[in-house]
A and B are shown apart, each in its own frame.
Chain A
Amino acid sequence: MRFVDEYREPELVTRAAEEIRRLADPGRHYRLMEVCGGHTHAIYRFGLKDILPENIELIHGPGCPVCVLPMGRIDDGLAIGERENVIFAAFGDMMRVPGARGSPLERKASGMDVRIVYSPTDALKLARMHPDRHVMFFAIGFETTAPSTALTLKRARDEGITNFSVFCNHVTIIPAIRAILDSPDMRIDAFIGPGHVSTVIGCRPYEWIARVEGRPIVVSGFEPVDMLQSIVMLLRQLRSGTATVENQYTRVVPWEGNRAALAAMAEVFELRPFFEWRGLGFISQSALRIRDAYAAWDAERVFAIPGVRVTDPKAAQCGEVLKGVLKPHQCKLFGRECTPERPVGALMVSSEGSCAAYYNYEHRKTAAARVAQPVGA
């Protein structure tokens, strides 16, 4: 077992691993999807694949906000940034995501005023500091992040700050799970539910997955012992033929979620009729837009948006990898044209993207093993 010395409560890890072996039917192949990109990163980092029996396959889900954003939205946001007097503000994760004409970082190098912020309130602060400029915040993220953008917009309105807007790319996790379940080429037996998204939305929104779709789902923490215990809980359900929502991460996730966060989101945002996701295509009611009451702070209404649609670079197979149809290393560009240093697709940019996670842990390990192998072995 790799990294075993780093595990919290190694005896619990060993016990959970034994329990998984006991519960898994050797005649059955299990496809479990971890929805959240943070889980994907942790799975690779801790080498959980090496602990699990071979017939348990982990499929990496769509829960990496940078990865699912179609390239056209990046170009739309950069088109606003190109305007005179505009400051383009975004989280650091966005900076190296390639648009059709370069990433925000590359555009910064060629003169665009691009600023990294760590909080949407800091983008608002930039607007206060530069009253003669317009600050556009490029908002991304699932329900973990959307409430912070909502509260920032409320503050902008309360303070009457008019040189600030949000280009809203917030997405919601439930419709993405629905799209995955509706997709004929994806057979998923059960889900490891996202941790931090669930601190906001709670566990109830997952109930249809169990009740209607008959798939077990366990909201999980990020430690190896958390994820293994979650897999134990999923296997118990699969074995007994039940499907319910369970919460393994009770120390952080309340069943009902965060009322204040949900209220802020509901006040500021409404569902878009549809939104395009990289790899999953257009999904109805899967993203948030800014309500009319906040139209004056909605970059899509303050500025004319080109509405760019860009197809991914031809050879890149981000879509198939995102859907779990291909493993990262099966993409033609993986590790050659596309690396974390020079990413072609977004899955290689974020540490939560399955390609970057695979590259940083599995690929380097295999490469090192190849070098270490004696000639002719």
Chain B
Amino acid sequence: MCLAIPGQIVELLDDARLVAVVEVVGVRRRVDLGLLEDDPPGPGDWVLIHVGFAMSRISEAEAAEQMRMLAILGEADAAYEEARGYGLEA
């Protein structure tokens, strides 16, 4: 439920810059940046994603650790499924 999935911003999409294409566990998905409007991330930045929304900016090292944690907790598949599911494209 409280999966926090790391992703790297590839490209900002709309003018308001509230939606971005983010590479999440190997797939590219649209992620909402509305919750980070005070300090919007840019291309190349890493974020923690929860239910399709970027929740916080993190370092690349933290992103790698978070991915490792998900794998150890047996939640990497769930994270992959969730990321694939964003945008109803799966």
Across the interface, name the chain B residue whose C-beta is closest to A262: B35
Smallest CB separation, B12 vs chain A (Å): 16
B13 at the interface (CB under 8 A from A): no
A258 at the interface (CB under 8 A from B): yes
By a CB distance below 8 angstroms, the chain B residues around A352 are 1-2
A260 at the interface (CB under 8 A from B): yes
Smallest CB separation, B65 vs chain A (Å): 6
Which positions 44-60 of chain B face chain A at CB distance < 8 Å? 48, 50-53, 55-56, 58-59
A120 at the interface (CB under 8 A from B): yes
By a CB distance below 8 angstroms, the chain B residues around A147 are 35, 53
A293 to B36, CA, bound (A): 24
Across the interface, name the chain A residue whose C-beta is closest to B48: A252
Asked whether A37 lies within 8 Å of B1 as measured between CB atoms, the reply is yes
Among B35, B55, B59: residue with most chain A CB under 10 A: B35
Smallest CB separation, A352 vs chain B (Å): 6
By a CB distance below 8 angstroms, the chain A residues around B38 are 258-260
Which positions 116-168 of chain A face chain B at CB distance < 8 Å? 116-122, 125-126, 129, 140-142, 144-145, 147-148, 151
A65 at the interface (CB under 8 A from B): yes
Across the interface, name the chain B residue whose C-beta is closest to A123: B88
A92 to B4, CA, bound (A): 15
Within the complex, which residue of A118, A145, A223, A251 is in contact with B85, where a contact is CB–CB below 8 Å?
Answer: A118
A64 to B3, CA, bound (A): 12
Smallest CB separation, B84 vs chain A (Å): 8
By a CB distance below 8 angstroms, the chain A residues around B86 are 118-119, 122
Smallest CB separation, A183 vs chain B (Å): 24
Within the complex, which residue of B1, B62, B72 is in contact with A93, where a contact is CB–CB below 8 Å?
Answer: B1
B78-89 toward A: CB 8 Å interface, digit per residue (1/0)?
Answer: 100111011110
A318 at the interface (CB under 8 A from B): no
Asked whether B1 lies within 8 Å of A65 as measured between CB atoms, the reply is yes
By a CB distance below 8 angstroms, the chain A residues around B69 are 42, 222-223
Smallest CB separation, B3 vs chain A (Å): 9
B42 at the interface (CB under 8 A from A): no
A73 at the interface (CB under 8 A from B): no
Asked whether B65 lies within 8 Å of A8 as measured between CB atoms, the reply is yes
A92 to B59, CA, bound (A): 29
By a CB distance below 8 angstroms, the chain B residues around A229 are none
By a CB distance below 8 angstroms, the chain B residues around A317 are none
Which positions 3-25 of chain B face chain A at CB distance < 8 Å? 4
Within the complex, which residue of A116, A144, A252, A264 is in contact with B34, where a contact is CB–CB below 8 Å?
Answer: A264
A350 at the interface (CB under 8 A from B): yes
A144 to B48, CA, bound (A): 12
A6 at the interface (CB under 8 A from B): yes
A93 to B81, CA, bound (A): 12
By a CB distance below 8 angstroms, the chain A residues around B48 are 196, 199, 252
Within the complex, which residue of B35, B56, B72 is in contact with A264, where a contact is CB–CB below 8 Å?
Answer: B35
A120 to B50, CA, bound (A): 11
Given the contacts A37-B2, A41-B73, A151-B34, A91 and B88 also touching, CB distance less than 8 Å: no
Given the contacts A45-B74, A91-B51, A120-B51, A196 and B2 also touching, CB distance less than 8 Å: yes
Given the contacts A116-B85, A148-B50, A196-B55, A38 and B35 also touching, CB distance less than 8 Å: no
A-B contacts besides A118-B52, A148-B32, 14 pairs, CB < 8 Å: A8-B68, A65-B2, A116-B85, A119-B86, A122-B87, A141-B51, A148-B52, A252-B48, A258-B38, A260-B34, A260-B36, A351-B73, A351-B78, A352-B1
- 20 A–B contacts, CB within 8 A, in A order: A42-B69, A64-B1, A65-B1, A65-B2, A118-B52, A118-B83, A120-B52, A141-B2, A144-B2, A145-B2, A148-B53, A196-B50, A196-B55, A251-B59, A252-B56, A254-B56, A259-B38, A260-B35, A260-B36, A351-B73
The 8 A-B residue pairs with the shortest CB-CB distance in the complex, in nearest-first order? A119-B52, A118-B85, A148-B53, A118-B82, A261-B35, A93-B1, A151-B34, A260-B37
Task: Tell me the B residues contacting A by CB distance below 8 Å.
Answer: 1-2, 4, 32, 34-38, 48, 50-53, 55-56, 58-59, 62, 65, 68-69, 72-75, 78, 81-83, 85-88
